[in-house]
Every structure is written in structure tokens, then in C-alpha cells.
Amino acid sequence: MRNCTQRTAILCMLLVGVGPAHAETPMAETSASSLEADVEELERKLDIVTDELRKLKEETAVPEAKALESKYGLGPAASKVYSRDRGLSLGGYGEFNYKESLSDGNDTYDFLRLVLYAGYKFTDRIIFNSEIEFEHASTGENDEDGEVSVEQAYLDFLVKEWANVRAGLVLVPVGFINELHEPPFFHGNERPSVERQIIPSTWRANGIGVFGDIGETVSYRTYVVTSLRAERFSSANLRDGRQNGNRDKAKDFSWVGRVDYTPVLGLDFGVSIYVGNQGQGDELVLGATTEEVDAFMQMYEGHVQWHYRGLEIRALGVYTNLEDTEELSINAAEPIGSDMWGAYGEVAYDLMPWFLPDSDQYLAPWVRYSRYNTQEDVPSGFVADDEQNREDVEVGFSYKPIPQVVIKTEYRYLEAKEGDRPDEFRLGAGFVF
């Protein structure tokens, strides 16, 4: 009805526009052929105006949903802006879960995160993209850990398919999860422990770099980014050292590079390296004195994944070496590991083709085994905290009624060399759009 009204209004305007041209000609003298030609001309102009209105609408409004596809290592929803012709792109994801802690009674139900992607394609070569995250449903003085944060916000300058420039708040390209963390695309309600405790996902930093695809088999990303702050490291992990783009200290920068190789469809190998000083000029308290340290850090990560029909296999390993840990440990009053490592392997199999071969539904049992230790080696004078020498065994199911929605359940068997870690049962869901 709305389109009909628009066409009628436009037709009336066009009639007014051509009316005076025929006012001087008596209706009786107007031939049938002339009138027919006028109608055809009006219809032609009306089609032109309608087409221009359609183009204007497409360029200024969010378009109809297209198939989600990952681009430049980002999640499918985060990549939507790259498929736009022009203008605004919106997407997002969310996840929530119930956790039953089987030995300490610390059961919770958490809306873990709600995320909005907003991007804008100014031209074919200049793109803005961002990710805004709301964690734990609310923020406030009495809301533990709830926060609103910008996960990424950057400008892309697309020069060639194999060489483009990115600047702003970027995701550090290490591991599977740090860049591609939308819930339907990984198993379990918790992201893999190795990619949270050894790789401090979600890990972002202000920086600039180059990225691209070389042919159809090789992709890469390499950035210079603001370093972590080593004075905040703990015996458990590096997570508190993240600056997150908030007035980052920029005395020290690090280099990070990543290459992925896809020799055949479904098989992917990749490596990433992160190196640089993490001291940032912070003064450490060393008894009666203070001192600045470089805290040079190296992180090496490798990963592989293979999808063959319904079979999914994923494995990742990461090793970190950190210098000046004696000074860092004295300042923190706890051992900061000079060597940290972690690895996990995961297998899943989609059963749905056996039951509904023509359906796009998905049902996969999966199992993941993880080992990680942030205290593999500690400075002399300190004793390793064996509570950080950990082992996880996780089994579960992922069900997708449609590709954008997932329902997840798993049992997590958690062990440490010393101390108790309660086993967990989790049930939750996630979505992406």
C-alpha cells in the first residue's frame, strides 16, 4: 500500500510537470497516439524515480540480511560491513548460561554478554568497524564485574586484496577465540581455558598494521600495538595487564604477526608471534627502592583445525617467556611465571545429517582436553603456585536449530596439581545476527 501511494504521488507530480505543455492544445485535437506516448514517457520517468528511491534507501538504511561470512579473521557478524555496498551495517551477538558448581554450591545464572557491531562503509576503500560489549547485564557500584566497553574500533583502508592498512583499537591476532568469539562458532558456554589464562582473550590494544589475503590459501595480519602493563601481572595469568584502549600507556610497543594457510577447503594451519617490552615505564616497588624494568615478553602460538563432513578437529598450543620476573614477583608479592604454556585438543561430530539429511540443523557431541600452567618456571627465591598447574576435561553438546542460534550444555571436570577446583555443569544459549 505504501509503495502504491508513493507511485501515485510521484505520478501526480509528473503530471503537473507536463501539464502546461498540453494546456494550449484542445483535448479534441490530441491524438490517441500522442496521449499514449505521454503515458509511456510518464511511466519511464516513474521507473527512474522509483529506482533512485530504492538506491537511496539501500545506501542510508541497513539492508536485508545476507549470509554471514568471516572476513580477514573476524567473526561472521563482525565481518558484515565488508559485504555492504555503502552505508551502515549492524550486527551483534549474545550469550547466557546457568552454572551449577557441583561441590561448593556456588550456582549462578548469568547473561554473560550482549554485543553490538556497528560499521560504516564510506567508500569501497574506507571502512569503519566497531564492537561494543555489555558484560553481565548491568554496571554499577554494586554490580560485580559488569561493564560496558569498546572491544574494537578501527578504520580500514583497503588498498589491495593482499595489502591493506588498519588503525585504531584492534583485536590482537593470537589464537582461535580472540578474534572469532561469537557463540555459535565455538563449543561450550565457557571459552577454552587456554585462550583465557595463557592468551588473555579478549585481548585488544591500540595500534596500526597491515593485513590481507594472498591468493585463496594464505591470509595474514601484522600490527604494532601498545604493550601490556607487566606490573599488573599475577601468578594466575596476564589478564590484568591488558590496557583495553583506555588511555594506554605507550612508552612500550609490541609487534604481533599472524599467518594462516588453508591448503584445501576445511583444513587450516596457523601461527602467531607477539614480542616486545611490557614494562611501560612503571616503577616497581622493590623493598626500599623502586625500579623500572623492560619485562621483555615473547609469545608463540600455533593452531590447526580440520572440518571434514561432520567431523571437526581443533588443536592449539601456546608458549610465553617473560623476563625480569624476579622484580615483578617482588612487586606483586607472588610468583610471576617466567615460562607459561598451554595446549588443548577438541573433537566434535555433527550427527544431524544422519537423522535429517536435508536440514540445516546441527547437533554435535564434543570433547575438549586442556593442560596449562602459568608457573612452569618462576624466579629463584619463589616457589611455583601449583594451583595454576591445571587440567580440564570437558564434554558436551551443541545444538543449532538454525545456524545463527546455538543451545549448549557441558560437564567440566577440573583438576589442579594442588588445591580443589569444583566440577561444573553448564547449560546455556547464544545467538548471532
Task: Encode pLDDT of 203-234 as tens digits.
Answer: 999 999 999 999 999 999 999 999 999 999 99
The phi and psi torsions of 375 (rounded to 5 degrees) equal -125, 35
The three grid cell numbers given for residue 318, joined into one nine-digit string: 601456546
The three grid cell numbers given for residue 230, joined into one nine-digit string: 607487566
Query: How big is the chain, counted in residues?
Result: 433
| Mean of per-residue pLDDT scores for the chain | 89
Q: How many CB atoms lie within 10 A of CB 356?
A: 11
| Kind and range of the H or E run holding 172 | none
CA angle 405, 406, 409 (to 5 degrees): 160
Q: Which is more confident, 50 or 99?
A: 99
User: Using omega within 30 degrees of 0 as the cis cutoff, is the peptide bond preceding 289 cis?
Assistant: no
**Span 85-432: which CATH code?**
2.40.160.10
Do the beta carbons of residue 195 and residue 143 sit within 8 Å? no
From residue 206, how far is each of 59, 120, 154 by CA, in Å? 30, 20, 9
pLDDT score recorded for residue 141: 65
Task: Encode pLDDT of 97-136 as tens digits.
Answer: 999 998 888 899 999 999 999 999 999 999 999 999 999 9
Task: Indicate whether this model's pTM tops 0.75.
Answer: yes
Do the beta carbons of residue 162 and residue 214 sit within 8 Å? yes
Do the beta carbons of residue 410 and residue 77 sit within 8 Å? no
For the chain, give the percent of residues with pLDDT over 70. 87
The three grid cell numbers given for residue 280, joined into one nine-digit string: 611501560
d(CA 390, CA 364): 26
Task: Encode pLDDT of 297-313 as tens digits.
Answer: 999 999 999 999 999 99
Contacts of 432 (CB under 8 A, 6+ apart): 68, 75, 76, 77, 91, 92, 93, 182, 183, 184, 185, 404
**Confidence label for 12 from pLDDT (cuts 50, 70 and 90):** very low
d(CA 175, CA 186): 13
Mean pLDDT of 126-154: 88
The three grid cell numbers given for residue 237, joined into one nine-digit string: 595469568
Q: Which is more confident, 17 or 288?
A: 288
From residue 366, how far is each of 345, 358, 360 by CA, in Å? 11, 22, 19
